[in-house]
Amino acid sequence: MRKLHQRTHTKTKVAQALAASTQDALNMGLVVATHGRHCVVELDDGARIICHPRGKKSQAVVGDHVRWQAAADEGTIESVTARKNLFYRRDEVRTKSFAANLDQVLILLAAEPEFSETQLSRALIAAEAEHIKPLIVLNKSDLGEAFTQAWQRLTAYRQMGYTVMPLQLKTSSETNDSLQLLQAEMAGKTTLILGPSGAGKSTLVNALVPNARALTGEISQALNSGKHTTTSTSLYWVGDRPVGLQESKAGTAIIDSPGFQEFGLQHIPQNQLASCMPDLKQYVSTCKFYNCTHLHEPSCGVQDAVEAGVISPSRYKLYGMLFAELTQPVNY
């Protein structure tokens, strides 16, 4: 019995050594674009190659560091290295992953058309759940009264501690103070740019990366998507590309993703929802019951804060709506 155990242990060690050897022999790369099951992987020297995931289901997303193996003029992704985070949404139908290994999420809004606070709040909650810093940017500061009203609507978010910045993209980038301040906020970080249609996302990307449109065309052609719009998610380097992927943290990168109309939060556990809303989170610890839903229990710190006027009724109403939404069974 002891010899059998020794032989089994030896076989396990050999298998582990072979697996480690195989992993070491694979190439490393950074996923810089995705479309369907196809990925564009950037190598240490800046060269790019089309890769496909091994198996039927694609696991890699933009921002992932992957190990891949050459196969003719393309490659096969063998594994994805451990992520520090993954920004995604989930509804009753499907899960949509935006990007991984982010430093922050830039949520771009516009004074016109009027932005949805519900949509903004959902994106903020998804970022909080993954411990990713959100950055709210309000575009079209040249619209006068419309911008003033939109800026006022964001007062509550500034009070929650979120960074909120104004932006005006019609001015030349050389003389655009608001753009330069935003660039300083993004320097040395990997930032996902998220926003609804009409917010000016494409204009911002082109201001930060002047050749982004041409790069998008090249990626689209390589992936055979046939479209130059953001139907795929793409990473662009702002300024100089860092030397070597292991030093990518020192570079400034933006990730452009398709616009969204809905933002499902079915991946957020009910009992964590309040902790993903900063104005509610600070009162959760004052509740009498550890499993308080903050809806009907006595001695609830959150409900007391609402009654005291510290938490706005609209935010508490949003919490109740989302809590009820997360109660519904989901069929995947």
Instruction: Give pLDDT tens digits for 276-314.
Output: 999 999 999 999 999 999 999 999 999 999 999 999 999
Contact assessment for residue 54 and residue 78, using Cβ atoms and an 8 Å cutoff? yes
Quote the CA–CA distance of 65 and 154 in Å, as a whole number. 36
Least Cα distance to 101 among 80, 76, 120, 70 occurs for: 80
Quote the CA–CA distance of 2 and 6 in Å, as a whole number. 6
Quote the CA–CA distance of 119 and 303 in Å, as a whole number. 24
- Where in the chain is CATH 1.10.40.50? 270-327
- Where in the chain is CATH 2.40.50.140? 2-80
Query: Cα 90–122–163 angle (5° rounding)?
Result: 135
Q: Supply the DSSP string of 40-89, one letter for each residue.
A: EEE-TTS-EEEEEESSSS----TT-EEEEEEETTEEEEEEEPPPS-EEEE
pLDDT classification of 7: cutoffs 50, 70, 90? very low
Q: Is the pLDDT of residue 251 over 70?
A: yes
Q: Is the pLDDT of residue 21 over 50?
A: no
Q: Which two tokens stand for residue 75?
A: 């490659």
- Where in the chain is CATH 3.40.50.300? 86-256
Question: 1.10.290.10, 1.10.40.50, 3.30.565.10, 3.30.70.120: which CATH number matches 270-327?
Answer: 1.10.40.50
Question: 3.50.50.60, 2.40.50.140, 3.20.20.70, 3.40.1190.20: which CATH number matches 2-80?
Answer: 2.40.50.140
Q: How far is CA 308 from CA 288, 299, 300, 312, 315, in A?
A: 17, 14, 12, 9, 14
Which residues touch 22 (CB under 8 Å, ≥6 apart)?
A: none
pLDDT per residue over 119-158, tens digit each?
999 999 999 999 999 999 999 888 889 999 999 999 999 9
Looking at CATH, the fold of the domain delimited by 86-256 is given as: Rossmann fold (3.40.50)
Phi, psi torsion values for 62, nearest 5 degrees: -60, 135
How many C-beta atoms lie closer than 10 Å to residue 213's C-beta?
A: 13
Contact assessment for residue 144 and residue 114, using Cβ atoms and an 8 Å cutoff? no
Contact assessment for residue 179 and residue 169, using Cβ atoms and an 8 Å cutoff? yes
